[in-house]
Chain A
Amino acid sequence: MLKIAVCAKQVPDTDIPPSQFKVDEDELQVIPPAGVPPIVNGFDMNAVEAALRLRDEGVECEIVIFSVGTAFALDVMKKPLAIGADRLVLVDDETSEALDALGTARVLAAAIEQDGGADLVLAGRQASDWDQGHVPIMLSELMSAPLVTLVRNLAMSAGGDSFEVERVAEGGFQRIECPMPAVMTVTNELGEARYANLRGIMAATRKRPETRTIADLGIGDVANDGKLAMTGLFVPVSESTVEFIEGEDEADAGRLLALRLREAKLI
């Protein structure tokens, strides 16, 4: 049976109005808006969907979610379980906050390894908090496994020993055949994750996450410390002031907008 590991990160909800996004400039931290729960990083849900589609196509597989973090919102992290993933492994560790991409990749590699390895590791193209897209690439380095980024379509080859992948590229896409085990990053072009049905939600409620700390993984010092330090964090202020064009009615405003833009030589 194919083992698929999906790396999923808990991140702040990205759908809050930009005006509600606040940071603490002294503590160098983002202040999550009160009462808004975190989400599973959007691209990671696309990655879960990619795994589920392989299963839909008849590939017998176990789908295991791996997440490194702390202060997990369990009902949030269980979302992949509710749509069909089999298990949830949480590396819950306060020190994970301080890890950089390489440190996180080392922890994920160790957690996947300890769980018996994987034939396919799926991740999101980037996490929507720090927008880097480094962890899966580094993971492929650490695992010495081939890497395909920006996957928009994924299928098993006829022989069942490699993957047929479509990868988004400038001006089109690339068809790639990738041997296993492999690491891939998934992009939203693949399609949104399916909705959970009641049965799925009930099943997920009963499942318990398998929790570990970094020390449990027996890998010693994983931090790639002291290379890069954050010294500032701020929200930019927009200097633009808008001139609202008004008219007798909406259509009139549209007409006047065209005249105004012509006057300003913008069209």
Chain B
Amino acid sequence: MSVGVLIVGEVVDGGLHPTVRQLVNAAGQIDQDALLCLAVDDAFDVGALDCVRVGNVILLEHPNAADDGVGGVYSLVSELVCEAIERLQPSSVLIAKTDAGSVVSARVAARFAAGLAADCVDLTVNPSTGRVAVTRPVHGGSAFAVYEFAGDGLQVVSVRPGAFEADVAGGTPEVERIDLSGVSVSGAVPVLVETVSEAGEGIPLEQADVVVSGGRGLGGPEPFENLRELCGLLNAALGASRAACDAGWIDHSHQVGLTGKSISPTTYITVGVSGASQHMAGCSSARNIVAIDKDREANIFSHARYGVVGDWAKVLPAFTAAVAELAGKETP
């Protein structure tokens, strides 16, 4: 059997990772009958597949498939996917550029000496060559590069999470099972000792309709208290630039950007954030950016819809007080 596009989906907690439906849409740009493969164990809920619009779903079954994301740092999943590629001989493989997808895609590409286009935000078939072409942000989002595959070898594409809408059309794919319980990782593997969850503070960034972020311009950890107050009034999530996180003013789990969280709120308010391309990479799908910064030339203003040029220490308290008043509450 030989197939066109093979989507490698990520499984979390016995269900589909949100990027799976995004990959379905991405695959649709180049192949209407893509196959979806998932590395699963017994606990996988097949019901989760009910409305996935793909040609077929192939379950790569292994008793430790779900364990691996934590132990082994995705080495077993990588083996399962390599085995699936061996058997199915796809022309292209599509994976999400998550932490797991980064490892799996790079391992697959190394194993098959394939071409690997990473972190793509657009996929097309070049009408004149018939080959797959991709667009991806580079240099922290300062530029975009377009690549086209050549030759006959395997093509591996990883897709930036959030770059494609999730598919909602739905379908009733046929499910096929491949027993890969005989596959193992050769050689030494890292062993997971424990997973420690660090309870995040406030509303999760990815889900918030309003996000308020602070940057280096705040000058220290204390002003984040002012932002917390504002977040409370606006029912907003609290974000930060990497500079603020690296300085230890706020936990890294609040970092927005290329190497932090990707957010897409309706309203994104930044205070003392200059708007470096790596920061903007995480909030480019925010619909309305509102910036407070003392530098009129700051890059954030070239992305913002509304801005105030000024010292946050003067602007923010008055802004917060006015917001409180509008909300019918008084600031304490």
Distance in Å: Cβ of B283 to nearest Cβ of chain A: 12
Distance in Å: Cβ of B302 to nearest Cβ of chain A: 5
How many residues on A have C-beta within 8 angstroms of the other chain's C-beta atoms?
87
Residue of A nearest to B325 (CB): A258
Q: Given A187-B259, A242-B307, A249-B314: A227 and B115 within 8 A (CB)? A: yes
Is A149 part of the binding interface, using a Cβ–Cβ cutoff of 8 Å? yes
Is A125 part of the binding interface, using a Cβ–Cβ cutoff of 8 Å? yes
Please pick, from A19, A137, A246, A267, the residue contacting B323 in the complex, using a CB distance under 8 A: A267
Among B22-30, B37-45, B139-147, B162-170, the one that faces the other chain is: B139-147
B305–A240 CB distance below 8 A:
yes
Docked complex Cα distance between A220 and B285 (Å):
45
* Residues of chain A contacted by B135 (CB below 8 angstroms): 232
Distance in Å: Cβ of A241 to nearest Cβ of chain B: 8
* Residues of chain B contacted by A228 (CB below 8 angstroms): 115-117, 147-150, 155
How many residues on B have C-beta within 8 angstroms of the other chain's C-beta atoms?
95
Main secondary structure of the interface of A (DSSP, over half): mixed
A21–B139 CB distance below 8 A:
yes
Please pick, from B114, B190, B304, B319, the residue contacting A178 in the complex, using a CB distance under 8 A: B190
* Residues of chain B contacted by A254 (CB below 8 angstroms): 292, 308, 310, 314-320, 322
Residue of A nearest to B277 (CB): A18
Residue of B nearest to A240 (CB): B303
Q: Which of A110-143 contact B (CB under 8 A)?
A: 125-126, 128-134, 137-138, 141-142
Please pick, from A142, A251, A261, the residue contacting B315 in the complex, using a CB distance under 8 A: A251
Docked complex Cα distance between A130 and B117 (Å):
11
* Residues of chain B contacted by A105 (CB below 8 angstroms): 110
* Residues of chain B contacted by A167 (CB below 8 angstroms): 73
B117–A182 CB distance below 8 A:
no
Distance in Å: Cβ of A143 to nearest Cβ of chain B: 10
* Residues of chain B contacted by A128 (CB below 8 angstroms): 139-140, 278
B259–A244 CB distance below 8 A:
no
Is A194 part of the binding interface, using a Cβ–Cβ cutoff of 8 Å? no
A146–B302 CB distance below 8 A:
no
Q: Which of A161-186 contact B (CB under 8 A)?
A: 165, 167-179, 182
Distance in Å: Cβ of B49 to nearest Cβ of chain A: 23
Distance in Å: Cβ of B127 to nearest Cβ of chain A: 14
Residue of A nearest to B107 (CB): A141
Please pick, from A169, A189, A236, the residue contacting B99 in the complex, using a CB distance under 8 A: A169
Q: Given A147-B190, A242-B301: A131 and B119 within 8 A (CB)? A: yes
* Residues of chain B contacted by A159 (CB below 8 angstroms): none
B290–A233 CB distance below 8 A:
no
Q: Given A131-B137, A146-B188, A258-B319: A100 and B196 within 8 A (CB)? A: no
A258–B116 CB distance below 8 A:
no
Is B267 part of the binding interface, using a Cβ–Cβ cutoff of 8 Å? yes
B151–A231 CB distance below 8 A:
no
A267–B153 CB distance below 8 A:
no
A146–B75 CB distance below 8 A:
yes
* Per-residue contact bits, chain A 1-42, to B (CB 8 Å; 1 contact, 0 not): 000000000001010011101010000101000000000000
Q: Which of B97-118 contact A (CB under 8 A)?
A: 99, 102-103, 105-107, 109-111, 113-118
Docked complex Cα distance between A234 and B144 (Å):
5
Docked complex Cα distance between A258 and B292 (Å):
12
Please pick, from B147, B189, B252, the residue contacting A230 in the complex, using a CB distance under 8 A: B147
Distance in Å: Cβ of B230 to nearest Cβ of chain A: 10
Is B326 part of the binding interface, using a Cβ–Cβ cutoff of 8 Å? yes
Distance in Å: Cβ of A39 to nearest Cβ of chain B: 13
Please pick, from A142, A176, A257, the residue contacting B193 in the complex, using a CB distance under 8 A: A176
* Per-residue contact bits, chain B 46-74, to A (CB 8 Å; 1 contact, 0 not): 00000000000000000000000011010
Q: Given A172-B195, A267-B210: A255 and B307 within 8 A (CB)? A: no
Is B246 part of the binding interface, using a Cβ–Cβ cutoff of 8 Å? yes
Docked complex Cα distance between A101 and B114 (Å):
11
Q: Which of B281-332 contact A (CB under 8 A)?
A: 288-292, 296, 299, 301-311, 314-323, 326
Is B130 part of the binding interface, using a Cβ–Cβ cutoff of 8 Å? no
Residue of A nearest to B12 (CB): A170
Residue of B nearest to A25 (CB): B143
Is B276 part of the binding interface, using a Cβ–Cβ cutoff of 8 Å? yes
* Per-residue contact bits, chain A 91-106, to B (CB 8 Å; 1 contact, 0 not): 0000000001110010
Docked complex Cα distance between A214 and B105 (Å):
26
Residue ranges of A at the interface with B (Cβ–Cβ < 8 Å):
12, 14, 17-19, 21, 23, 28, 30, 100-102, 105, 125-126, 128-134, 137-138, 141-142, 144-150, 165, 167-179, 182, 187-189, 192, 224, 226-236, 238, 240, 242-246, 249-255, 257-262, 264, 266-267
Q: A144-B187, A174-B193, A233-B144 are in contact. List 5 more A-B contacts (CB 8 A).
A: A146-B189, A172-B195, A240-B303, A254-B316, A267-B323
30 cross-chain CB contacts under 8 A: A14-B276, A18-B277, A125-B259, A141-B107, A145-B187, A147-B103, A171-B253, A172-B195, A172-B198, A173-B196, A175-B195, A179-B189, A188-B259, A227-B114, A227-B149, A227-B155, A228-B148, A228-B155, A231-B133, A231-B146, A233-B146, A235-B143, A240-B302, A240-B305, A253-B318, A254-B308, A254-B316, A257-B319, A266-B267, A267-B267
Residue ranges of B at the interface with A (Cβ–Cβ < 8 Å):
70-71, 73, 75, 99, 102-103, 105-107, 109-111, 113-119, 133, 135, 137-140, 142-151, 153, 155, 186-198, 200, 210, 234, 242, 246, 252-253, 258-259, 266-267, 275-278, 288-292, 296, 299, 301-311, 314-323, 326
9 smallest beta-carbon distances between A and B, as pairs:
A227-B115, A232-B146, A258-B322, A254-B318, A254-B319, A250-B310, A137-B106, A251-B318, A250-B314
